[in-house]
Structure formats: structure tokens, C-alpha cells
Amino acid sequence: MSELKTPQELGTEKIGKLLIRYAVPAMIAMLASSLYNIVDRAFIGHGVGPMALSGLAVTFPLMNLSAALGSMVGVGSGTMISLKLGQKDHESAQMLLGNSVTLNILIGVLFGALSLIFINPILTLFGATDVTIGYSREYMIIILAGNAFTHLYLGINCILRAAGHPNKAMVATIGTVLLNTFLDYLFIMVFHWGIKGAAIATVISQVLAFTWQCFQLSDKSELIHLKKGTYRLRGDLVKNIITIGLSPCLMNAAACFVVLLINRGLLKYGSDVAIGAYSIINSIGFMVVMMVMGFNQAMQPIAGYNYGARKFDRVLRVLYLTMFFGTCVTTLGFAVGEFLPDFCIRIFTNDPELTAIAHNGMIINFIFFPLIGSQMVIGNFFQSIGMPGKSIIMSLSRQVLLLIPFLIILPHYYGINGIWYSLPASDILSVILGFSLLIPQVRKLKKMI
């Protein structure tokens, strides 16, 4: 939030120029985190085997749930800290930093320990079979053991961003991706540690990133730094952190529930291999989605400021431009997915069975991609102009509310293809919903110009 210190220019500078300037750093961060997924899966697919890929895919809902809890603390404390820094209330900001560290450790250890105790039933529930559970467990035990570090790393990154160091946060993100790539190569390709190697690489790179962050935050000349006496939890601070962070957390948790449904459906109507195929499709789709999110993040301050300043012509212009860019990105994704699916799949595997399933899935899944760019932008647009309710309906509709009925009904008629059909079916419905919410809003804005 602090990178936006000059709001006036948001009301005067050319929209295209502003959008690009805000979008580039956001897109780099987004690309980095989606690359992380791709790299891990590519090394496991090629270095360990197609079944390991399925074993890894089974663990995603659990990892997402953990990330959801991490983001709750991160977003909550980041928002509070940036508020306190705005008020020059450094003491409270410091307390919040200390409290968020404690909270992250507490939740991280608790979540890790509970999941470790119940690891077998959890993985079975998430769609692991006798063939894949060995891989899932081997991977997850190490990840869960390092779970507190994952939370700390993600949480402090949010705080670095909120405290006016977005560049440091970006260095940590990119550094972790590069380190993880190198260690993946070393552990899987050179040492032949198997899927365990990927987990160790992840934990090591997060521990190192966290150490670097601590180093950054221990500089006493900084406005906020890690300090003795701030780690004891204070009820009111914890309450505020959780109140703010709960809504992004619930959104993530809902998304992870849907992945669980998809995985179980793929297993029921297909096989273990199909779960691996979905994780390949998902990685590519995720990258496209993340790039649109980069534009969305850039649109927020521009649309928000101009809406507040009642410059509605500029609000509409940034909306249209972002929708255009978003559509370009998703159309590119569409082209790659429809015309070069095997090229994408080869990044992850050479296995003919897996390739065939992923090929079929990708062609179905990406069919409405050119349209979802604008759907995502619309959802975010409502967020930017202070209508979080509509924005949440938009993001839940595509990934949860409209998807779940399709996931339950369609496979009865079409078998495994029913699962693949569900995704574009909910895409197209949510696009219609999006435009039916947006058009009246645009009319209202046009009247006010």
C-alpha cells in the first residue's frame, strides 16, 4: 500500500501509462509464484514419474489450506501495520509485527502437527490411492514439518510490502523461486532423492528466505523491526488481524474445497493419472490467471482513486483497458492450450498415457479462456470501487458456486469428460453473470460523467 504515495497522479496521468507502470511489478510477482508451481511439478514429472505427479496433486488442497491460514495472518497484520505506519504509530506497528510472528508460528506448528497426525485419512479423503499415497506422504511429511516456516515466510512478505518495502518482498519471492529451482535440480536430478527432494528444496528455500527477511527486519534504524517484548499475543491485536484476514482466508479455503472435489471426481470416473493430468492443466491455467491478476492489482488503485474523486470517465477507461489486456492474456492462454497442448504437457511429462489425458482435458478446459479475462477484471473492478459484496460473488461464482453443481451433475452423464466440461461450463455462466452485473453499473457511471 505504501508504494502509492502520490495519489494525485492517479487522477491526471494517462491511464495506459499508469496501468502499465503499476502492472509490471505486480505481474513479475505473480509470474514468480506461478513459476514456482510449474518448476516443482516439472522436476517431479520428469525426474520421478507420472504417478509422483498425481501424488503431488493430491496434496494441493492441504497445501492451499495451509496457505489460506498463512494469508489470513499476513493480510491482516499487513493491513494493520500499514494503517499504524500511516498514523506514525510505530510502537503499535512493532507490536503487530511481533504478534504476527508469534501467530504464524502458533498456527503453522498447530496446523502442521494436526495434519501430520491425521496424514493418512486426510490424503485418502483428498483422493490418494494405494499407488499414489506413498508419494503424497513422503512429500507432505517434510512440507508439514516445515509448515511454520512457510507461514512465517509468506506472512513477513506481506508485512514487508505493507511497510513500504515492496522491492524487498519481491526479492524474497524471486529468490525463493530461483533457489527452489536450483535445489530441485540438485536433489532430484543429481542426488535422485525422488519426490522427497522437491519437498526438501521447498523447505530449505523458504527457511533461507525467512532468514534473509529476519536480517532485513532486524535493522534497528528501520521504522519497524523485530524487537524483544513484542511477541506476546495481545487479544485486541489478534482479533483485528483475524477480522481483516478472515475473508481472503475463507475465499482460499473455498477454492481448496473445489480442488478436492475435482480430484475425487477425476479419481472416481478416471484414474490416478487423471489427477496428475489436472495438475498439469491447472499449472498452465494458473499462470494465465495470475497474469490477469497482475493487471487487476494495477487497476485497483487507479479505479479506486478516480471513483473516489468522481472522475468516472477515467474509471471507465481503466476498466475497459484492463479488460482488454486481461482478454489478450487469456486469449494467448487459449491459443497455447488449444493449439500447442502437447508442447505445454511436455514441460511436465513424456508419459504417453498422462499426455493423452492431459491433452484431452486441456482442450476442453481452455475453450472459453478468451472470455474469462474480462470476468476476472469485472470481479476485481467491483472490489476497486468499494463493492466487495459483488466482487466476492464474482470470484466465488466461477471457482465455487457455479462449479460445484456442474461437478456433481455432469460426470453422471459424461464420465470423466463431465469433470472437464464443468470447468468451461462454469466459466461461461460466470461470464454472463459478470456482464449482467457490470452493464447496469457502467450505465450508472456513464450517467454521472
Partner 1 sequence: MDKHYCICIGRKFCSGGRNVAAIVAEKLGIKVYDRDLLKKAAQNTGFSEQFFDEADEEKTRKGLRSLFTGHFNGNGFSNNYLSNESIFNMQSDAIRKIHETEDCVFIGRCADYVLRDSDRLLNVFIAADINDRVARVCRHAGEGMTESKALSLIEDIDRKRSSYYNYFTGRTWGDTAVYDICLNSTTLGYEKCADIIVSLAKEKLGI
Q: Rounded CA gap, 327 and 72, in Å?
A: 30
Q: From the list 383, 397, 399, 422, which residue makes contact with partner 1 (rule: CB under 8 A)?
A: 383
Among 417, 396, 395, smallest CA distance to 407 is for: 417
Beta strands in 43-106 (DSSP E): none
- Site for partner 1 contains 250 (CB under 8 A): yes
For the beta carbon of residue 281, count every other beta carbon within 10 angstroms.
26
In 185-339, which ranges are continuous DSSP H helix? 195-217, 235-269, 272-308, 312-339
Taking phi over 0 as left and psi of -120 to 50 as alpha, with beta for the rest, 194 belongs to: left
For the beta carbon of residue 338, count every other beta carbon within 10 angstroms.
15
Q: Rounded CA gap, 307 and 225, in Å?
A: 36
Q: Is 86 exposed, middle or buried (0-12, 13-18, 19+ CB in 10 A)?
A: exposed
Q: Determine the interface stretch with partner 1 among 47-55, 98-106, 186-194, 298-306 (rule: CB under 8 A).
A: 298-306
- Site for partner 1 contains 424 (CB under 8 A): no
Rounded least distance, CB 65 to partner 1, Å:
17
- Site for partner 1 contains 384 (CB under 8 A): yes
Q: Is 235 exposed, middle or buried (0-12, 13-18, 19+ CB in 10 A)?
A: exposed
Q: From the list 20, 309, 400, 404, which residue makes contact with partner 1 (rule: CB under 8 A)?
A: 309
- Site for partner 1 contains 202 (CB under 8 A): no
- Site for partner 1 contains 388 (CB under 8 A): yes
Q: Determine the interface stretch with partner 1 among 33-41, 214-222, 243-251, 318-326 (rule: CB under 8 A).
A: 243-251
Rounded least distance, CB 83 to partner 1, Å:
5
Site string for partner 1, 99-118 (x = CB under 8 A): --------------------
Q: Rounded CA gap, 218 and 264, in Å?
A: 46
- Site for partner 1 contains 229 (CB under 8 A): no
- Site for partner 1 contains 410 (CB under 8 A): no
H/E element holding 366?
A: none
Q: From the list 39, 62, 244, 357, which residue makes contact with partner 1 (rule: CB under 8 A)?
A: 244
- Site for partner 1 contains 83 (CB under 8 A): yes
- Site for partner 1 contains 145 (CB under 8 A): no
Q: Rounded CA gap, 285 and 333, in Å?
A: 7
Rounded least distance, CB 394 to partner 1, Å:
12
- Site for partner 1 contains 276 (CB under 8 A): no
For the beta carbon of residue 95, count every other beta carbon within 10 angstroms.
22
Q: How many residues bind partner 1 (CB under 8 A)?
A: 45
- Site for partner 1 contains 307 (CB under 8 A): yes
Rounded least distance, CB 86 to partner 1, Å:
4
- Site for partner 1 contains 248 (CB under 8 A): yes
Q: Determine the interface stretch with partner 1 among 132-140, 194-202, 234-242, 268-276 (rule: CB under 8 A).
A: 234-242
Q: Determine the interface stretch with partner 1 among 179-187, 225-233, 268-276, 387-395 (rule: CB under 8 A).
A: 387-395
Residue 314 vs residues 136, 170, 273, 326: alpha-carbon distances, Å: 50, 29, 49, 18
Rounded least distance, CB 236 to partner 1, Å:
6
Residue 134 vs residues 51, 194, 399, 400, 437: alpha-carbon distances, Å: 10, 12, 30, 30, 47
- The torsion defined by the Cα of 292, 361, 409 and 257, in degrees rounded to 10, comes to -50
Site string for partner 1, 60-79 (x = CB under 8 A): -----------x---xx-xx
Rounded least distance, CB 344 to partner 1, Å:
30
Rounded least distance, CB 135 to partner 1, Å:
33
Q: Rounded CA gap, 92 and 86, in Å?
A: 11
Rounded least distance, CB 447 to partner 1, Å:
15
C-alpha cell at 321: 483497458
Q: Rounded CA gap, 173 and 80, in Å?
A: 22
Contact assessment for residue 136 and residue 51, using Cβ atoms and an 8 Å cutoff: no
Which residues lie near partner 1 (CB under 8 A)? Answer: 1, 4, 7-8, 10-11, 71, 75-76, 78-79, 82-84, 86-89, 92, 236-237, 240, 243-248, 250, 297, 300-301, 304-305, 307-310, 383-386, 388-389, 392
